[in-house]
Amino acid sequence: MGKIRVLIVDDSAIIRRAVSDELALDPEIEIAGTAPNGQIALAKMTQVNPDFVLLDVEMPVLDGLKTLAELKKTHRRIPVMMFSSLTERGADATLDALMLGAAGYFTKPNSGGIEESRRIIREQLLPQIKAICAANLVKSTPARPAVIPVSLPPRPAPSGVVDVVAIGVSTGGPNALMELFRNLPANLPVPILIVQHMPPVFTKQLAHRLSANSKIVVEEATSGTFLEQGRAWIAPGDNHMTVVRQGLRQMLVLDKEPQENSCRPAVDPLFRSVAKVFGGQTLAIVMTGMGSDGLRGCEAIKAAGGRVLVQDEATSVVWGMPGIVSRAGLADKVLPLALIGPEIVRRVLRTKD
């Protein structure tokens, strides 16, 4: 693959310059162009021929949502990442954009000065651009990496009983979760725990969206909440979420322990805790996302006798998290997104009748 040509669309000249300057330092990136609003960006598409579009959510003349809708009519295969502010309005509009087909989102640095902003662009935005573009390339290539199993200690024989479903997901997650939850019945007799890599505000808005569009009540988690069957909790941005046993019940705990896998919330702390509390009655799901978060947690779940399902490469925006679990030989099944919900229901209900 040649250089990734990026079109940057933002009404702030300062932001356009900061993002352009930092991305251009990478030898794999070429700045195809910039635009101060969606109308100009659309006019430039055929001129600059970008491989990737970074699109501000709130702009004059033509905002990000309307621009995205037009882009998907004429340049459907070009990935678009939304660039939004860390506000409730920005989060809501970003989730709308993801539903319209945006490949991901990135929150604008809002403190720390220009040098800190450039560091965040370099260390957080740049890897996402590369991962999304690489995923698009891999999906058009038939070759697949070989399975490389890891050495694990002897595992307890799985009981088949499922008492908790734990989900880890990142890039592409909101859309994937929306489809997954549409396939879950209201009377699913287990709690569902979700870690989606998202900042504060965004996780609350996502919980509201999931709850409004599914039969299961989904809430942003709070410390001290006891788990209940048929309900779901999502870890709040900037907080790890774990489970502890409290007498005969299980309780959620939030903390601000150091990041794991450069994330907080991270999947591994949740998965380790459910392995400890629920043991072999755990069903873990690893879905679309970049990086390796969830790998160590899946090792703990498998060692405790639990089961792991992962999303397949074809339906993942980025096959990083599920791919590394699959290649490690930890997945009991690799499934397309549309079949994960029905598989969860089948595994939960077969021992609950």
pLDDT tens readout for residues 33-83: 999 999 999 999 999 999 999 999 999 999 999 999 999 999 999 999 999
Give the model's confidence band at 139: pLDDT under 50 very low, under 70 low, under 90 confident, else very high: low
pLDDT tens readout for residues 154-191: 444 455 799 999 999 999 999 999 999 999 999 999 99
pLDDT for the residue 146: 40
Report the alpha-carbon distance of residue 152 to residue 179 in Å, rounded: 33
Active site residues: 170, 197, 293
CB 230 within 8 A of CB 186: yes
> Can you give the pTM of this predicted structure?
0.91
Is the fold of 4-139 the same as that of 164-349?
A: yes
pLDDT (mean) for 323-347: 97
CB 103 within 8 A of CB 127: no
Report the alpha-carbon distance of residue 144 to residue 19 in Å, rounded: 33
CB 252 within 8 A of CB 191: no
**CATH code, 164-349:** 3.40.50.180
Domain residue extents for the chain: 4-139, 164-349
Nearest to 337 by CA among 167, 186, 189: 167
pLDDT tens readout for residues 256-296: 999 999 999 999 999 999 999 999 999 999 999 999 999 99
Domain 4-139 matching CATH 3.40.50.2300: the answer reads yes
Residues 6+ apart with CB under 8 A from 221: 193, 233, 234, 235, 236, 239, 241, 252, 254
Q: What residues are paired with 264 via a beta bridge?
A: none
pLDDT at 141 over 50: no
pLDDT for the residue 111: 67
Nearest to 170 by CA among 333, 7, 276, 295: 295
Structure token pair of residue 269? 């702390």
